[in-house]
Structure 1
Amino acid sequence: MTVPVLVIGEALVDIVGTAKPRNGNGKSTATPGGSPANVAVGLARLGVPTELVTRFGTDPYGDQLGAHLFGNGVQLAPGSVDPNFRTSTATATLDAAGVATYQFDISWEPPALSLSRGCPAIHTGSIATVLEPGAAAILGFLESVADQPVTVTLDPNARPSITPDPVSTWAAVRKLAALSDLVKLSDEDCEFLRPGLSPVQIAEELLTVERTQCVVITRGGNGALGVSRDAQVDVTAPAIEVVDTVGAGDSFMSALIAGLEQRGLLGEQRLAGLTSDQLHDIVDYAVKAAAITCTRHGADPPTAAEHAAKWGS
């Protein structure tokens, strides 16, 4: 594959800290992040050429982001680096189990969106799909390419601190999901967006539209569930020692896309012919990529070689 996968969404700096102990000060570190940017890095590390449409500044945080993205082989779309833009941040606080909660200082307005001839897939999600004015630009772009031979994947990655109303947020997710071939959710997304429904019920609801062919729901240490029109797979997670969960869902998402690419299911194929065995193997590959990330600090997705060395695949 020579034309890169197109990833659209925020790139920001994660300020990751631990909660303050009673008699001391918490510690914090600044690391590159943003869910779509993490997915772009994860794809590049797994050997999938990737272009990121984002926006960040030329301030110190922006310089850190740029070095990180270029250093991992991610192409940046024109206009993504803007000297008049202040780089966004997310402050992540880790609890005793290494689970992160976030507070955001972010604005979002992407540069012009366009689709290169031969692009096999578009991925978007997270804050970029709900924060205006960028959210409307993404929705309009996906509508404009709906008849093109390109696979669309979506990870809403719900952020209640930014969109506290689950009803309106779910309505926005449904509009984007109807333009997507694959939708990935977490169990936390499900609880916030559709309380009272099981993951399978939510997947079945999303699969009622013509375009959507597959829904994958992650369940933290319990693995993930994959549901297509013809199959349902339940994949367990390997036992690991968790350092933190920052970026784990993004590593999972990038590995999902990479797994589809490896099997020739992107582009005009649009997941057509996805079998139960393929779905299981792709979800298993993604679960194991996320597991590696959980054993390291911050959003640090594995390379293809690291994945193979750890899990033999």
Structure 2
Amino acid sequence: MALPHVVVFGEALTDIVQGAPGQWQGYPGGAPWNVARGLSQLGVSSAFAGAISGDSLGDEIARLSRTAGLDMDFIQRVDSDPLVAIVASSHPPRYFFAGESDLHFDGAKLPQGWLDAAQLCHFSCISLARQPLGDKLVAIARQAHQAGKQISYDPNWRNLMDSAYREQTFPTMVALATIIKLSDEDLRQIYPGLTEHQALAELRALNPKAQILFTRGEKGMVLHTLEGEYEQAAIKVEVVDTVGAGDASMAGWLASGLLGISDYQERLRFSAACASVSCSQAGAHAPTTAEVRALLGSIAR
């Protein structure tokens, strides 16, 4: 079996979400895992490289990974408490993380030859802020960068990220990245006190050559490149759940390039459609190519 073209590193977890008071529901998720599933659903051979628990929560993540077509040789099962996000409130967001299965990831156990086969490696979210995992992943990112691979990075800011992350991990990953995606909320957290224009200027100064996909929710997205800026409005759908929309847009942007779409505006439309399809479903839905094409076809008529 051929090794995957994209390897996504980081965490997979279970969101334990309180809807009505006292009513809790579990949803498998985690930004890196969402992106990996999204890429695979869009036709890109992909793997999620991370450690998950050996219990029933880990079983469900493994089942959905297999269903999405991910390369299962990159998922490590460990005898440790599952990583969970306890979400007491979504509006406003109130959450915390528990468990440590993700921290046991071992890069030495990756399939032989994985780096030679990979075209792109993706990194994001809390995995880079949880030690010792964060340092392991930064080292892998450096290794992939030195091997000439594309690196994509989405900070996906969460409340456990601190000044050390802002001042050390973030600029390190930005400097290594070919493609950076971040939201307006990420930008406010990373560059507090700066205007959006000032913050984007600071970011671009760290790595002028990188593509920056800046997402603004219902206000759409803007791509910043050396060639110029390209805007894309959000594609309107009946919103069921915005969880995972940013991950879907990231998967769409990466997949469109890997599948040979070269026009930036076309890629932005594809990425925006992925986000909108995700919003039309409950949970962190990973859109399929058919769903995305159907939405794009409906708005073209």
| Fold similarity call, TM over 0.5 | yes
Amino acid at match of 1:283: L
Alignment map for 1:57-136 (pairs within 5 Å): 57-78=53-74, 80-82=76-78, 84-93=79-88, 95=90, 101-107=94-100, 108-112=103-107, 115-136=114-135
User: C-alpha displacement at 1:34, in angstroms?
Assistant: 0.7
> Is this contact kept in 1: 2:115–2:144, CA < 8 A?
no
The counterpart of 1:289, out of the listed 259, 274, 288, is 274
Identical-pair percentage: 27
Cα distance 1:254–1:19, how it changes in 2: closer, same or farther (>3 A)?
same
CA distance in structure 2 between the partners assigned to 1:226 and 1:200 by the alignment? 14
Name the counterpart of 1:158.
157
Using the TM superposition, name which of 6-15 and 102-111 deviates more: 102-111
Amino acid at match of 2:122: H
Could you say what secondary structure the match of 2:115 adopts? Answer: coil
Using the TM superposition, name which of 296-305 and 209-218 deviates more: 209-218
Could you say what secondary structure the match of 2:242 adopts? Answer: coil
Long gaps (5+) in structure 1: 265-273
Could you say what secondary structure the match of 1:249 adopts? Answer: helix
User: C-alpha displacement at 1:172, in angstroms?
Assistant: 1.5
User: C-alpha displacement at 1:173, in angstroms?
Assistant: 0.7
Cα distance 1:212–1:133, how it changes in 2: closer, same or farther (>3 A)?
farther
Could you say what secondary structure the match of 2:52 adopts? Answer: coil
Cα distance 1:245–1:101, how it changes in 2: closer, same or farther (>3 A)?
farther
User: C-alpha displacement at 1:9, in angstroms?
Assistant: 0.5
Tell whether 2:147 aligns with 1:148: yes
> Is this contact kept in 2: 1:91–1:104, CA < 8 A?
yes
CA distance in structure 2 between the partners assigned to 1:250 and 1:147 by the alignment? 26
Tell whether 2:14 aligns with 1:29: no
CA distance in structure 1 between the partners assigned to 2:190 and 2:20 by the alignment? 27
Cα distance 1:86–1:258, how it changes in 2: closer, same or farther (>3 A)?
same
Could you say what secondary structure the match of 1:80 adopts? Answer: strand
CA distance in structure 1 between the partners assigned to 2:4 and 2:184 by the alignment? 33
Could you say what secondary structure the match of 1:149 adopts? Answer: coil
The counterpart of 2:198, out of the listed 198, 201, 215, is 201
Cα distance 1:235–1:78, how it changes in 2: closer, same or farther (>3 A)?
closer
User: C-alpha displacement at 1:129, in angstroms?
Assistant: 1.0
Alignment map for 1:165-204 (pairs within 5 Å): 165-166=162-163, 168-204=165-201
> Is this contact kept in 2: 1:207–1:214, CA < 8 A?
no
Tell whether 2:15 aligns with 1:18: no
Long gaps (5+) in structure 2: none
Larger fraction in helix: 2
Cα distance 1:79–1:301, how it changes in 2: closer, same or farther (>3 A)?
closer
What is the aligned-residue RMSD (CA, Å)? 2.3
> Is this contact kept in 2: 1:245–1:293, CA < 8 A?
yes
May I ask how many residue pairs the two structures share in their alignment? Answer: 291
The counterpart of 1:311, out of the listed 275, 280, 296, is 296
> Is this contact kept in 1: 2:273–2:296, CA < 8 A?
yes
Could you say what secondary structure the match of 1:122 adopts? Answer: strand
Name the counterpart of 1:256.
253
The counterpart of 1:247, out of the listed 240, 244, 250, is 244
- Normalising by structure 2, report the TM-score: 0.88
The counterpart of 1:42, out of the listed 34, 38, 41, is 38
